[in-house]
Chains A and B, each alone.
Chain A
Amino acid sequence: MATELPEGLVAVVKHDCPTCVMVAPVLATLQDTVPLTVFTQDDPAFPPGVRAIDDTELEFSYRQGIEIVPTLLRVEHGQVVDQLQGWLRDRWEEFTGVAPLGEGLPEYRAGCGSRSVEPALVEKLAARFGGDRLASRRISFGAEEDEFEAAYARGWSDGLPVIPPTPERVLRMLAGTSREPSEVVAVVPPDLVPCTVEKIAVNAVLAGCRPEYLPVLMAALEAACTDDFNMHGLLATTFFSGPIVIVNGPISREIGMNSGVNVLGQGNRANSTIGRALQLVVRNVGGGRPDGVDRATLGSPGKLGFCFAEREEDSPWEPLHVELGFRPEQSTVTLFAGQGPEPIVDQLSRTPEELIRSFAACLDVVAHPNLALGFDAIVVVPPDHARVFRGAGWSKARMREEVNRLLTRPGRERARGRGGMGEGLPESLAEADISKFREGGLHFVHAGGKAGMFSGVLTSWVNPNGGGSTPVTVEVRK
């Protein structure tokens, strides 16, 4: 390959450039008088009468960072010590030490763009020759192999098609962060594999992410792999839950996330692919697969990926991340191990006192009516329900307080056997006043479309009282 840097003068040209065509006779003259090596980008027979090295693969041009043709380089002891672009007679004479040069030519003519910086080629060249940035094993599919079927066959998919992670696509994805591809972001369970920015980017490509989503995905993975969040347990459980990613702060608007109509549903690329990419990292890097370490009895559709943004702009309340101690201008992801939503339907209450009772009654049955303290909940409140609380000036704290007041009662009222049901709290708690939710176990998030007197409850996996998962919030770093 034509990568070695020859001593003396080096010229890089292409036939498709009028300036190069114009200086071709000059190069022919120079080659007879000074040590000159010419690289040609598009036509091995160009320039006529010159012994040119074929750089139609553009490796030399790419590695030397050539942006303009013609370019003249001066190489001394294997180093480029000077360079010159375009045609400027005085400068060429000075640079080559040969005068007069190019008699009959104009004094000056600008060069053209190098082929190695053509937009359509840049990423391909980066992938081919700049691949030393990428450490992942390269796999060549068979010539006759369908690339989508090939990804399925290798077990990389969650059941839906994945985008083949070509080096070009991965490099484009990595442009979404300033972090080095080799930086380890998290150690991913269940196999406890150190996961680099690059591996996250590969899986982000599979999932269909855009590069600007990558920082959110990295923060989500960092949160998922903390001891508090307990991704290993969440993966291995027979329970329904998966990681739910809630995005707060300016980044959710910057990357076009949905916090409005159909917020928990399909249709928005960021919402759909960020949560999916997180699960693909756990699957592919961590080795956690359904019917492998994932032992879910039923699972839930959100395990394909569950990610949404809080509707901060017209919320009556401080956003979730501010409640948790971050500043409004910080961007964060909060991971919650859970599933949902369970509907709260109340189209008739017009006062907060009425509506909070509906909330409480629906929250009373989270996990089981006879269970308490072991499961958390996040109520996703859309504008129509939020309006009822806004009018009366109710804060999130007030709402939580009211729910806890309404749902605190003696343990015997949730005891095993109560209501003819075997499940329930143990006898030892019969006389204690028990609230349904642990302290810090109930949250409200503002999101959803403007029309509809409903709220949605996201219920958790076992909370830390049962050794399960604590929600974790991590700031997004670009």
Chain B
Amino acid sequence: MSGLEVLDPTGERQPRERRRLPRPDSIDGRRVALLDISKARGNVFLDRLEQLLSERGAKTERFRKPTFARPAPRALLEEITARSDLVVEALAD
């Protein structure tokens, strides 16, 4: 015997499981995107990170979301994907 029957209030979506990419052996010569989401002082964090990454041979490039208050525009995501091997996103605060 079963109990009460109800209707599913959720979006009934199956989340897709994706495995993380393996950690890179080395960052020497790799292209690293540094994404600033436009929050206060995110640049301070990324400036220092850029310095440390450069010292280790990484080629860095800076990107910036137009506003922290919305998801990144698709064009920006595509640009980062095309131009980089690794990404560091500064959530800041």
Contact = CB atoms under 8 A, between A and B. Distances in A.
B12 interface: yes
A134 B2 contact: no
A67 interface: no
A230 B9 contact: no
Contacts of A143: 1-3
A280 to B, nearest CB: 7
Nearest to B67: A467
Interface in A241-290: 280, 284-287
Contacts of B7: 134, 136-139, 165-167, 170, 198, 202
A378 interface: no
A164 interface: yes
B22 interface: no
A138 B8 contact: yes
A385 interface: no
B11 A140 contact: no
A202 B6 CA distance: 9
B3 A165 contact: no
Contacts of A137: 7-8, 12
A137 to B, nearest CB: 4
Given A284-B10, A287-B11, A237 B69 contact: yes
Interface in B11-43: 11-13, 38
B9 A466 contact: no
B9 A141 contact: no
B4 interface: yes
Contacts of A164: 4, 6
A336 interface: no
A139 B4 CA distance: 8
Nearest to A145: B3
Contacts of A167: 5-7
A193 interface: yes
Contacts of B70: 230, 232-233, 467
A291 interface: no
B90 to A, nearest CB: 14
On chain A, which size bracket covers the interface? 35 or more
A238 B10 contact: no
A236 to B, nearest CB: 8
B45 interface: no
On chain B, which size bracket covers the interface? 20 to 34
B11 A156 contact: no
A188 interface: yes
Nearest to A238: B93
Nearest to A207: B9
B50 to A, nearest CB: 23
Contacts of A116: none
A285 B11 contact: yes
B66 interface: yes
Given A232-B71, A466-B67, A467-B70, A139 B11 contact: no
Contact of A141 (B6, B13, B66): B6
A191 B16 CA distance: 12
Contact of A156 (B10, B12, B66, B69): B10
B3 A206 contact: no
Among B5, B69, B70: residue with most chain A CB under 10 A: B69
A138 B61 CA distance: 50
Contacts of B67: 466-468
Among B1, B7, B66, B68: residue with most chain A CB under 10 A: B7
Contacts of B93: 238
Contacts of B8: 136-139, 202
A142 interface: yes
A115 to B, nearest CB: 22
Contacts of A202: 7-9
A459 to B, nearest CB: 16
Contacts of B2: 140-143
B66 A203 contact: no
Contacts of A439: none
7 contacts: A140-B4, A167-B7, A195-B11, A199-B9, A286-B11, A467-B69, A469-B69
Interface of A: 134, 136-145, 147, 150-151, 156, 164-167, 170, 188, 191, 193, 195, 198-199, 202-203, 206, 230, 232-233, 237-238, 280, 284-287, 461-462, 466-469
Interface of B: 1-13, 38, 66-71, 93
